[in-house]
Amino acid sequence: MKISARLSALLAVSALAAGAFAAAPATAQVAAGTGTAAVTPPDISLTNVKQHLADLQSIATANGGNRAHGRTGYKASIDFVKAKLDAAGFTTTLQTFTSSGATGYNLIADWPGGDANQVVMVGSHLDSVTAGPGINDNGSGSAAILETALAVSRTQFQPTKHLRFAWWGAEELGMVGSRYYVNNLPTTDRSKISGYLNFDMLGSPNPGYFVYDDDPTIEQTFKTYYAGIGVPTEIETEGDGRSDHAPFKSAGIPVGGLFSGAETYKTAAQAQKWGGTSGQAFDRCYHASCDTTANVNDTSLDRNSDAIAYAVWNLASGSGTPPGGGTVFSNDTDVAIPDGSTSTATSTVNVTGITGNAPSNLAVGVDIVHTWRGDLKVDLLAPDGSVYALKAANVSDSADNVQTTYTVNASSEVANGAWKLRVQDMYSGDTGYINSFKLTFP
């Protein structure tokens, strides 16, 4: 809605009503989710992923039109990704190698915490061919895992397993960077990698939805996600040796991944199933100068990005402890937020087993999926009803989603009891829901 309409809506909204809207059943858990129940990840914002693609396009445009190994556009791409991860709290490492007489770079980003003996790795190659900017191949995979990593940071995800992200160099020369990484990884460290997930081409303009048929657990995880959104998938059969999962598979590490198709043609049966154009390549600009930001299908990119988050959260989840210890209580049940109303939505977490008062640095993890987040007023309610304002409504804040961690001085509150996240949507016209609410006691 336009700001003027919002202002009139604001005037129409009186004082906050006490009524709570369809409060979800409390599903407090000491530490992050364990067991077989699926874990709900945050939504990966298509807007954010596309912004990363626009940035990679700008980098290519400013560096001779490509982001290829050994060219200035590749190093600029690596520096761009590394800066975002450093700012988000990842431990980053640049690994150099030489190929075809030029220096290549792998970027490894570790999320602090989790079991170092169980590493879930997520990777994409960041290099393009020399012919063009490589936005679908493979800016799409690189941007999708970058935004997933940033979502891990924004929500302060605390998985049981250790999370490691990687952006590979010189894949187009024959998986050179990823092979260099695996070959130089001590055998003991290789055995700690419980799975490697590869994402190379996720936004093909005439997309297919292909799941790698390698490790059955990883394959099933992706299939479960796609079944959940009613999108049929096919097994990716011809790609075994054609991307960065190959060196990991050769080293006996379980692998999996997603792919939206390259130079081969979509069949009539596939067009029937997925839409798009039969008798046409999944990506007509594969390895061509036209592989620009115009060469991406938004639906494919969004679905695949969300599938990555689903896999990361579910393959790495468990009784997570925050970096440096502590206890997490969470409620991952979605709660719809009434649009433009005096009613509120609440998500409840029952804290038990904590002695004494809450800390002065209580971490409040908030994940609200909602367009135009300026509509939202967000409060934390202590067990005795005390209100801690987390976020005020701000009619001019048009960005989507509230996915962040607040630090609250709750030292005057008894720790144990029912803590509530309360959300009011004060303007009509944009909608959303509470995706998860998390309290971390250090």
Which spans of this chain sit near Ca ion (rule: CB under 5 A)? 43-44, 302, 306
- Asked about 171 being catalytic, the answer comes back as yes
State yes or no: residue 413 binds ligand DTR (CB under 6 A). Answer: no
Q: Which is nearer to Zn ion, 43 or 137 (CB)?
A: 137
Q: Which is nearer to Ca ion, 48 or 295 (CB)?
A: 48
- Residues numbered 240 to 299 that lie near ligand DTR (CB under 6 A) are 242-243, 259, 262
Q: Of these partners, Ca ion, ligand DTR, Zn ion, none, which one is at the site of residue 259 (CB under 5 to 8 Å by kind)? A: ligand DTR
Beta-strand (E) ranges in 340-392? 344-351, 362-370, 376-381, 387-391
Q: Which is nearer to Ca ion, 299 or 394 (CB)?
A: 299
Q: Which of 45, 138, 194, 348 binds Zn ion (CB under 5 A)?
A: 138
State yes or no: residue 200 binds ligand DTR (CB under 6 A). Answer: yes
Residue located via tokens 């190698």: 97
Q: Which is nearer to ligand DTR, 21 or 74 (CB)?
A: 74
DSSP string, 181-200: HHHTS-HHHHTTEEEEEEE-
State yes or no: residue 137 binds Zn ion (CB under 5 A). Answer: yes
Q: From residue 174, how far is each of 74, 126, 163 by CA, in Å?
A: 16, 13, 26
Among 163, 184, 165, residue whose Cα is nearest residue 125: 165
C-beta separation of 199 from 145 below 8 A: yes
Helix (H, G, I), strand (E, B) or coil at 117: strand
Contacts of 386 (CB under 8 A, 6+ apart): 412, 413
Burial class (CB in 10 A: 0-12, 13-18, 19+), 229: exposed
Which position among 147, 171, 172, 413 bears the catalytic label? 171
How many residues contact Zn ion, by CB under 5 A?
3
Shortest spacing between CB 140 and Zn ion, in angstroms: 9
* DSSP H or E segment with residue 273: helix 268-274
Q: Which is nearer to Zn ion, 200 or 306 (CB)?
A: 200
Q: Of these partners, ligand DTR, Zn ion, Ca ion, none, which one is at the site of residue 236 (CB under 5 to 8 Å by kind)? A: ligand DTR
Residue located via tokens 């959104």: 229
Q: Of these partners, ligand DTR, Ca ion, Zn ion, none, which one is at the site of residue 400 (CB under 5 to 8 Å by kind)? A: none
Helix (H, G, I), strand (E, B) or coil at 272: helix
Q: Which stretch binds Zn ion (CB under 5 A): 192-200, 326-334, 368-376, 383-391?
A: 192-200
Q: Which is nearer to Zn ion, 114 or 132 (CB)?
A: 132
Q: Which of 55, 110, 200, 400 binds Zn ion (CB under 5 A)?
A: 200
- Residues numbered 223 to 242 that lie near ligand DTR (CB under 6 A) are 236, 239, 242
Shortest spacing between CB 407 and Zn ion, in angstroms: 40
**DSSP letter at 281?**
B
Determine the Cα–Cα distance for residues 312 and 156; give it in Å rounded to an integer: 14
Distance between first and last Cα of the chain: 41
Q: Where are the alpha helices (DSSP H) in 93-210?
A: 141-154, 176-183, 187-190
Q: Which residues bind ligand DTR (CB under 6 A)?
A: 137-138, 171-172, 200-201, 236, 239, 242-243, 259, 262
Residues at the contact surface with Zn ion, assessed by CB under 5 A:
137-138, 200
Catalytic residues: 171
